[in-house]
Amino acid sequence: MWSFELTDRVVVQGPTLAGLWSLAVLLPTLAVPVRRLRDAGYAWAHALWLLVPLAGMIVVALLCAQPSRAAPSSTAASGVQGAHPPSS
């Protein structure tokens, strides 16, 4: 284990920096499957499958591999024409 002093009383050790790095990387790492799950039409809560060892990764991988679903347009529901022409 290594350490270095920032001031007379503050000592930063290796595991502390590793923990900070883990937290900094955790959010973007979780954001990727959550965004993909939402694109596929699933709730973000399906990312909690990742807490189950091995099987959870398989479940999330299968869910993320599903094709994207088009989100319902708020302008189409209200009858207002948007930028896309109506399909015939």
Residue 74 lies in a domain: no
Strongest mean pLDDT among 4-8, 18-22, 23-27, 56-60: 56-60
* Distance set, CA 62 to CA 25, 28, 29, 52 (Å): 23, 20, 17, 15
The tally of domains found in the chain comes to 1
User: Chain centroid to CA 63: how far?
Assistant: 13
Return phi, psi of residue 5, to 5°. -100, 130
Average pLDDT over residues 16-36: 87
Residue 39 lies in a domain: yes
Residue 59 lies in a domain: yes
The rounded distance, in Å, linking the Cα atoms of 46 and 36 is: 11
Residue 72 lies in a domain: no
Residue 85 lies in a domain: no
User: In the structure, what pLDDT confidence band is assigned to residue 70 with cuts at 50, 70 and 90?
Assistant: confident
Which residue range is the domain that position 57 belongs to?
29-67
- pLDDT above 90: residue 43: yes
Nearest to residue 68, comparing CAs of 45, 35, 44?
35
Q: Is the dihedral of CA 20, 23, 25, 27 positive or negative?
A: negative
Residue 53 lies in a domain: yes
- pLDDT above 60: residue 48: yes
Residue 61 lies in a domain: yes
